[in-house]
Amino acid sequence: MTRRLALLLPVLLLVLGTAGHAQAAGYRYWSFWDRTGTHWTYATQGPSTTRPDDGDVQGFRFAVSEDSANAKQPRLQSPDFAKICANSPAVQGKKRIALVIDFGTSPDAPAPRTACATVTPDASTAEALATVAKPLRYNTAALLCAIADYPKQGCADQVTDQKKPPTPHHGPSVGLLAGATAIVLLAAAAIWRARRHPHD
């Protein structure tokens, strides 16, 4: 029994030592942004359901992000509707939407671009995008996978960032410690019982 405990303890220490060292996983996808005042705001709706007003500025950024809290914004930080739509005069019965499209920093990524979409008053952002950045690609869940055919394949693929350092932690969780303590106590009790009843 003592030998069993000796074999068990290294395993226990390994579990405790590796707790909290899992690498963070993110997703490579097109994030969608609203221009609010002088800054970008992560959109609360998808481009298919958002219906922008005439004169709005909206952006898309392709990057790896863990969630909306750390999503990367379009790198064009001062988009101006008047400049983006300078060559697209207003049309009666239509609205104009300024779009910023940032393809990210991968070696194969196209350069960021801007475009002015002239669409019907009830058009969604997705419909506006389709007029200036075809082809668009969606998956079966209607998630936007590609703008202007970028990327060529994949859709919100999960990516593990091997270069990112482990998240700092302050030791194993309470549940893990409780389980480890229970194992040690059970092993100790078994040793005590074996010594009292060597012939059981």
Dmax (CA) of the chain:
98
pLDDT tens-digit readout, 109-165: 999 999 999 999 999 999 999 999 999 999 999 999 999 999 999 999 999 865 555
Summarize the confidence of residues 186-196 as an average pLDDT. 52
pLDDT, residue 106, reads 95
Question: Which residues, at least 6 apart from 192, have a Cβ–Cβ distance to it below 8 Å?
Answer: none
pLDDT tens-digit readout, 41-67: 999 999 999 999 999 999 999 999 988
pTM (2 d.p.): 0.70
Partnered with residue 33 across adjacent β-strands are 42, 59
Amino acid letter for position 179: G
